[in-house]
Structure 1
């Protein structure tokens, strides 16, 4: 959600900002803008609603400078409009501000301090920049006015502020929203995501909550809001520009679906030793072994991966496990066991409602692990342990390779924990071999794109609704499959436990209603097949995605056999492609579905 880029000390700040904003498009946005200053008395503000291309087309050749800030906005306060887009300008035209997050007491501050000041937008951000300007007019310098304002704010923020009187300085602050400092040779920068600056530098400095940073082209000064200096080393981010480019693919989502087989190999390489045995941090395993219950906390697609994970941990490590929605857990914490251990699943490592839970359980003294794709992210840094997904950047809003990477990572972790606990099922579960089979099988399914495309056309070309069913882990896959279809093709899709159909949902079945049935579990295969037949008997169009061992002549998509615990790694591939082709054929922007953001950094 939203994205910030800022730079000081580059000869062509305009291009750095525009290219950085393009790299942040995946986060979701509805408007964009830049402010550029040449530090010689000339500055420029350009804002546009819609895509970055609209902004680029509006930036004329004279918009040049050596410092500036840019922003992609995802509307929270106020509708998408140029007036509501960032950067925001104070009414005395001295300060420019970009902001990610939500200031929950903005209206109260407006009513208390800004009576008589005409606001140009509906945003909480403008209230902040007007406060900074107000305190500066009362005699404070820019830094002190900014710090005073920050101390008054409730909510979440990542800010970058420019004072036109001192265009050799950028002021930066963060609380609960992600922000990194990029350290360059003769320049410094700021961004919501390292991806925005990776073509400029691979050296980054992480920021903590309630820190204020003063950036010049040659210096990075970090301090607390109380004014205490903070020293922090830079770290290296390794990203390949090729990984964040579509290449010959029409959309990132298709590219990322195709990358899933190699991600399986990366995970095996990352978490096995020279003898091919699973190797996980011994301190992490010791902490998990002490736990009497695992709490897997996640959101969206990651939550669905967590549901599969709870089955893996209970079967292989013989420890009770429960998956929870972070947005529910944060406000309605259940009664916890005596020795809980928390696992946070997150692709971006910046999900706001997950972080809320992490902050709460840390305050209670409970141990935690973040499983994420971004090692430099807030959740990775703040948890006691981290386990990386090694999936490479995922740009499309609809997650694909992060989902399968999370399941594979959970399988490796459950295997290692089970071995430490001497669980026989763990010793018998050859996860390295199974993930190798999964990689090969995923590739085989990916190569059936034409067949799956045809099924997408037959089932979903004109429908307004669809159903997915399964039992056990197949039910968990049905939840993820329905989410993929609804979020990028806007078809009202629902996943159901197959055994629950007759308890109400079957009333929704009409002639030609699309239904996808997942059948991989030997114990319940016959029951799910019977449920699918009941739906077909009522006129529905039924597509069965079935493992080879359970397949019958009428089944349309047959996936290779694998341990049932890992069947979701395969059965989800056709479902991802069904969603992709449905959206593609309807002419939608597959990577950037309406109203959605990749990184959900506000609750």
Structure 2
């Protein structure tokens, strides 16, 4: 959600920042802008819509200068117009801001009483006015920046430039990510390491409350009290090649084809290939004495957690509570002493999940996070990180990160079950072998695009779609429905198949396709019965199943896609891939913006 890129250096800054914003498009946005300072003067260009519109504005009226800030905005306060786009320039300053300033109305009222006039509908403009107010009072930029951020309440990442200071860039963060990149005679600011990947492989992640003063050859970092602090410089392995499309039409298409690699690389980290046993870091708690696990996440990661609940309860015999983070952080249920909180996030910056992390930590829970970005805020604040190796995920709709999350949760379940002496070594190897077989099976599924495309033609004509699953396949049905809604804008709902007769069956007619996730190894007879009921009412039945299931479904289903035969334990991971491909193929037929669907952001960093 929103993106910041800034540079202070010796080269023309606008092309650097513009390409940084291009790499941040995946976060979601609806306007963009760049401001530079040259010969002591600030100039800016802004545009509503896609980044190409900003590119046209820059071509018509170029910006020069070696210091610049840029922004991709996802509208919160104020419509997505050029007027509301960042950077905001007021007097002698310009700023870009990610997040929400919760006290902006109070700030605005105070500033207006001093004769200041606001031009936009945004909360961010209050930051620019407040900063300029301090500058106009005679404060130096560093002093003015500190005085400003001390008045702000809410979540923010901010970059600031100042007239009369061509070699100065100041950043601050609280609740929204911001990183420093170290270059050769230049310094960078970015919302994440993807923005900085081609510019620097040496990154410092600011901590909550930190702010920084950058020149082309110097970095100074302060904490929320203004004390100079040291933050570690980390080396990132990200490369420009990792964030290209590699000849695919969309990032989502590329990332769908990366499922086998994401699963394989993730398993390589946590499975000993010689002993075929799960090898995880030492847990900061006694696994055998655990009484309860709390799982929380948002979006697709929440559905991954639901699968994890089935695994942990069935195999590790652990009671599991699961709730979406946006609800759990305010519901505040009682927590057991020294309980385990398991949090799942691709970015590690999801605002609600991060908020829950802090609440659960205060409640005395051990925090274990499943993350794709281990150096994220959640990673730094967790007791233990179980990292997946999915690589950068650029498309807003999560794909390979989901199967990587499931791979980690499956391995964790095996590990817990063994530590709790609920499975023996032979059973552990059987389950682990089924995981290690997944990359090759995933490659087989990628060969089914044509068959899934045939299904997609049916879905693309519908206004409403039902997804059905039973048991551990229910969350996969939910993931399929979510993906369809996200990128094709078709209304879809997922139900436990056994609930069909308790209401949803009234929706079924020939215009409402029914998509079923139905491996023969998981409550298949029950699912088959439910599909026969839907068929009898005119429903068009589309099924993902295996060889045995296909034989029994051939007189019931209109379309069947046969997946490789796999262990019931790993079926949810494999069956995720075709439901995601189905959504992608439907979106192609609908002609939607697959990678950047309307109104959505990749990482939701504000409530």
> Which TM-score band applies after superposition, normalised by the shorter structure?
over 0.9
Matches of 1:230 and 1:516 in 2, distance apart? Answer: 55
Partner residue of 1:269? 268
**Aligned-residue offset at 1:376:** 1.5
Shift in alpha-carbon separation, 1:289–1:380, aligned structure 2, 3 A: farther
Shift in alpha-carbon separation, 1:181–1:523, aligned structure 2, 3 A: closer
Matches of 1:22 and 1:282 in 2, distance apart? Answer: 37
* 1:433 and 2:427 matched: no
Partner residue of 1:26? 26
**Aligned-residue offset at 1:274:** 5.4
Partner residue of 1:65? 65
Partner residue of 1:3? 3
- Partner of residue 107 from structure 1, selected from 105, 114, 118: 105
- Partner of residue 571 from structure 1, selected from 564, 568, 575: 575
5 Å matches for 1:305-316? 305-316=304-315
Q: Deviations over 1:132-169 (max 9, x none)?
A: 11122223222222212211211100000111122211
**Aligned-residue offset at 1:290:** 4.0
Partner residue of 1:508? 507
Q: Deviations over 1:519-550 (max 9, x none)?
A: 12635211111111111111111111113343
**Aligned-residue offset at 1:286:** 4.2
Matches of 2:329 and 2:471 in 1, distance apart? Answer: 26
**Counterpart of 2:283 in 1: which secondary structure?**
helix
Partner residue of 1:231? 230
**Aligned-residue offset at 1:279:** 4.4
5 Å matches for 1:191-270? 191-270=190-269
**Aligned-residue offset at 1:504:** 1.1
> Are the counterparts in 2 of residues 6 and 17 from structure 1 also a CA contact under 8 Å?
yes
556-565 vs 500-509, which moves further: 556-565
Shift in alpha-carbon separation, 1:428–1:512, aligned structure 2, 3 A: same
Partner residue of 1:128? 127
**Counterpart of 2:121 in 1: which secondary structure?**
coil
Partner residue of 1:12? 12
Q: Deviations over 1:404-448 (max 9, x none)?
A: 110011111111222222222675043432123222221111101
Partner residue of 2:536? 537
Shift in alpha-carbon separation, 1:118–1:380, aligned structure 2, 3 A: same
Matches of 2:35 and 2:154 in 1, distance apart? Answer: 25
Partner residue of 2:479? 480
5 Å matches for 1:62-461? 62-90=62-90, 92=91, 94-115=92-113, 116-273=115-272, 275-284=274-283, 286-424=285-423, 427-429=426-428, 430-457=430-457, 459-461=458-460
Unaligned stretches of 5+ in structure 1? none
> Are the counterparts in 1 of residues 35 and 44 from structure 2 also a CA contact under 8 Å?
yes
Partner residue of 1:596? 600
Partner residue of 1:518? 517
Matches of 1:367 and 1:305 in 2, distance apart? Answer: 20
**Aligned-residue offset at 1:462:** 1.8
Shift in alpha-carbon separation, 1:34–1:289, aligned structure 2, 3 A: farther
Matches of 2:423 and 2:496 in 1, distance apart? Answer: 30
Q: After the TM superposition, list the runs of 4 or more consecutive aligned residues in structure 1 that deviate by more than 3 angstroms.
A: 276-282, 285-290
Matches of 1:12 and 1:280 in 2, distance apart? Answer: 48
> Are the counterparts in 2 of residues 49 and 82 from structure 1 also a CA contact under 8 Å?
yes
> Are the counterparts in 2 of residues 157 and 176 from structure 1 also a CA contact under 8 Å?
yes
Matches of 1:24 and 1:51 in 2, distance apart? Answer: 12
Matches of 1:224 and 1:426 in 2, distance apart? Answer: 50
Matches of 1:41 and 1:523 in 2, distance apart? Answer: 68
> So what's the TM-score if we normalise by structure 2?
0.96
> Are the counterparts in 2 of residues 285 and 417 from structure 1 also a CA contact under 8 Å?
no
> Are the counterparts in 1 of residues 519 and 571 from structure 2 also a CA contact under 8 Å?
yes
**Counterpart of 1:156 in 2: which secondary structure?**
strand
> Are the counterparts in 2 of residues 479 and 494 from structure 1 also a CA contact under 8 Å?
yes
> Are the counterparts in 1 of residues 311 and 413 from structure 2 also a CA contact under 8 Å?
yes
Matches of 2:288 and 2:19 in 1, distance apart? Answer: 46
Shift in alpha-carbon separation, 1:425–1:27, aligned structure 2, 3 A: farther
> Are the counterparts in 1 of residues 272 and 279 from structure 2 also a CA contact under 8 Å?
no
The size of the alignment, in residue pairs, is: 599
Matches of 1:600 and 1:65 in 2, distance apart? Answer: 32
> Are the counterparts in 2 of residues 285 and 416 from structure 1 also a CA contact under 8 Å?
no
**Aligned-residue offset at 1:42:** 5.0
**Aligned-residue offset at 1:294:** 1.1
Shift in alpha-carbon separation, 1:111–1:288, aligned structure 2, 3 A: farther
Shift in alpha-carbon separation, 1:287–1:383, aligned structure 2, 3 A: farther
**Counterpart of 1:580 in 2: which secondary structure?**
helix
**Aligned-residue offset at 1:172:** 0.7
Matches of 1:2 and 1:563 in 2, distance apart? Answer: 41
Matches of 1:549 and 1:323 in 2, distance apart? Answer: 33
Shift in alpha-carbon separation, 1:523–1:372, aligned structure 2, 3 A: closer
